[in-house]
Structure 1
Amino acid sequence: MRAVRIISEPAEIPSTGQGSRGLVPTMGYLHEGHQELIRRAAAENDEVVVSVFVNPLQFGPGEDYQTYPRDLERDARMAAEAGASWIYHPSPETMYPAGFATTVRVGGPLTERWEGERRPGHFDGVATVVTKLFNQLRPRRAYFGEKDYQQLQVVRRFTADLDLGVEIVPVPVVREPDGLARSSRNVYLTPEERPRATVLYRALLAIREAARGGAAPAKALAAGEAVLATVPEFVPDYLAVVHPETLEPITDWVPGARAIVAGRFPTVRLIDNMEVWDR
């Protein structure tokens, strides 16, 4: 297995030439979900760059920016295994030099509910850093996991609104054998919490099964809430059934309807989602 080159300065970024470049934006501490993004990008592009940047603008007061897991050597190995061409690993000072004063913001309901309500400024940080990465790296395609489903819709929105010319490619959630969505933050779970963390997945399954059984959205949602209630140490922030594009709550089924869930164990906050009504 060849080692991947690590680039840390915009001036070092190679030209794409006549080939296509796929970008997999990450905050590092890669896992199998990230590797699936890289493999998909490698299959569809001439080269793949993986950005590894823990973006301070995405973290609010009291969140885990300082303690977020970091291991660049491990990231480089996993990226190479999956087919990455090179890694872009800028410093915060490179991305946000002295005097930096510009924010990319997506307004309206898409960013006001759910994660946007509970993490003020989070999506401003996402939109700003991804816009900078697109401008610096000039990818033809960028690959985002559906686990961060609201983030995916936000990225689609500003990419279209700003005519950035990048194709946004969604990749399905990658799960552990017991259903837990793979996440860099899963390492925070204690041994006791880890098996109970599947409650998010089980709640989503309950909603999907109720929907397939003919239940209306409100009834299906109640089935998911009943599952969450079986693990009292998990404190939900929200559980909802929403439109797949606007993320507005729905009262009647629409093609591609999504169930979304987020909440906190004592050691970590987790999110998940699932399509519960077929397109």
Structure 2
Amino acid sequence: MQQLTSSQQLAEFSRGVDVGFIPTMGALHAGHVSLVECAKQNNPCVIASIYVNPLQFGQEIDLKTYPQTIDADLRLLTDLGVDAVYMPQYTDIYPEGDEVKQLSAGVNGLSFEGAARPGHFDGMLTVVYRLLQQVMPSHAYFGEKDAQQLCLVRQMVSELNLPVEIVGCTLVRDADGLALSSRNLRLSDTARTKALLLSSALQCAANSFRQGERDVQQLTVEMNEVLRDPQLKIAYCAIVNEKTFAELKEQVDVPSRVIIAAEVGGVHLLDNLLLVS
């Protein structure tokens, strides 16, 4: 596996190659493995990136405490048969220095994660756009765990008419049901147990939906009952339109996804589930 540490090395490696691209911030887990496996099935060359983007962290403490497991990440990507890993410096992504003109996520980036973490999606879209411009892949792979991120990336690609297909890959869970996340490394045993309430609440809504319940308020009440625990600080619990991410207020009458975010043991976690009859 080639280790590319500058935009120049990336350009030389990827010139004229059909690339499947997986952008990451490292601390890789089985969810990232599924993205790589999907990319390998559809692209002759797979490039992953590892770059912890400071623009999408609202608080300095979040950036400083984000897990860094670079040696393990490189071993995993090598074992998976990834062709190259791109590990740029700040100046490769933002050559203008600190005067970065960020993309705007617009009104769709102000709700849910955007409200819980102001500016997060502007920073995310900015780095994804610049990585796509540098890697120039035919396909880019994102996990459905960050469903709002996936929705906004698809909207950006459509609006800017970028020549790349955004592929959403199924959310991966641990054996106990916890959605895999790099932030799970920061959970204590007690906090991890409490974090399972998120997936339990989603399953509660999904079961009621399968039994015919379509009232948004009723489904939300049922989820909040499951989430009623003093060790959970709920950021949001809602049902959204799968395509637009607009919050549903009355009836679930379009393809929809249940989304939850909460702070558990000082760690911000999110989870979601597509509602299926």
Paired amino acid for 2:194: R
Q: What one-letter code is carried by the residue in structure 1 that aligns with 2:92? A: T
Work out the CA distance in 2 between the residues paired with 1:121 and 1:17: 33
2:2 aligned residue: 5
Unaligned runs of 5+ in 2: none
Higher helix share: 2
Q: Is the 8 A contact 2:2 2:83 kept in 1?
A: yes
Match of 1:177 among 172, 175, 178: 175
Q: Tell me if the contact between 1:202 and 1:227 (Cα under 8 Å) persists in the aligned partners.
A: yes
Q: CA 1:100–1:42 in 2, change beyond 3 Å: closer, same or farther? A: farther
* Alignment counterpart, residue 245 of structure 2, candidates 227, 247, 252: 247
User: How many angstroms apart in 2 are the aligned matches of 1:253 and 1:99?
Assistant: 44
What is the one-letter code of the residue matched to 2:268?
R
Q: Which runs of 5+ in 1 are unaligned?
A: none
Letter matched to residue 267 of structure 1 = G
Match of 2:72 in 1: 74
Q: Which amino acid aligns with 1:173?
A: L
Letter in 1 for 2:25: M
Structure-2 residue corresponding to 1:224: 223
Contact 2:48–2:84 (CA under 8 A) maintained in structure 1: yes
On the 8 A contact 1:156/1:168 being kept in 2, the answer is: yes
- 2:164 is the alignment partner of 1:166: yes
Distance 2:161 2:111 in 1: 25
The residue that corresponds to 2:152 in the other structure is 154
Residues 198-229 of structure 1: per-residue CA shift (max 9 Å, x gap): 10000000011111112222211111111001
Q: Which amino acid aligns with 1:23?
A: F
CA shift, 1:101, in A, is: 2.9
TM-score for both structures, normalised by structure 1: 0.94
Structure 1 counterpart of 2:238, one-letter code: A
Given candidates 49, 52, 67, the residue that maps to 1:51 is 49
CA drift at 1:12:
0.6
Q: In structure 2, what is the Cα distance between the partners aligned to 1:76 and 1:101?
A: 29
The corresponding residue for 1:64 is 62
After superposition, give the CA deviation of every residue in 1:4-49 in whole Å (9 maximum; x if it has no partner).
2211111111354554200000000100100110010011001110
Aligned length, in residue pairs: 273
Measured on the aligned residues, the alpha-carbon RMSD in Å equals 1.4
Please name the residue that 2:85 is paired with: 87
1:127 to 122, 125, 128: 125
Letter of the 1:76 counterpart:
L
Q: Is the 8 A contact 1:36 1:82 kept in 2?
A: no
Deviation larger for 43-52 or 4-13: 4-13
For 1:66, what is the secondary structure of its paired residue? Answer: helix
Aligned to 1:195: 193
Q: CA deviation at 1:94?
A: 2.5
Whether contact under 8 Å (2:194, 2:264) holds in the other structure is: no
Q: What residue identity is the alignment partner of 1:138?
A: M
Pairing partner for 1:114 from 112, 115, 122: 112
Q: Is the 8 A contact 1:255 1:277 kept in 2?
A: no
Report the counterpart of residue 262 of structure 1 in structure 2.
261
Identity among equivalent positions (%) equals 36
Native 8 Å contact 2:139 2:167 kept in 1: yes
Cα distance in 2 for partners of 1:237, 1:100 equals 31
SS at match of 2:126: helix
Return 99-108 or 168-177, whichever deviates more: 99-108
Change (3 A) 1:227 1:44: same
1: CA distance between counterparts of 2:181 and 2:257? 19
Within the candidate set 39, 42, 46, 1:41 is matched to 39
Offset at 1:274?
0.4
Q: 1:223 to 1:99 in 2, by over 3 A?
A: closer
Q: Is 1:20–1:46's contact at 8 Å kept on the other side of the alignment?
A: yes
AA of the residue aligned to 1:213:
Q
- Give the Cα separation in 1 of the matches to 2:88 and 2:165: 23
Post-superposition Cα deviations, 1:41-74, rounded to whole Å, max 9, x if no partner, equal: 0110011100000000000125410121112211
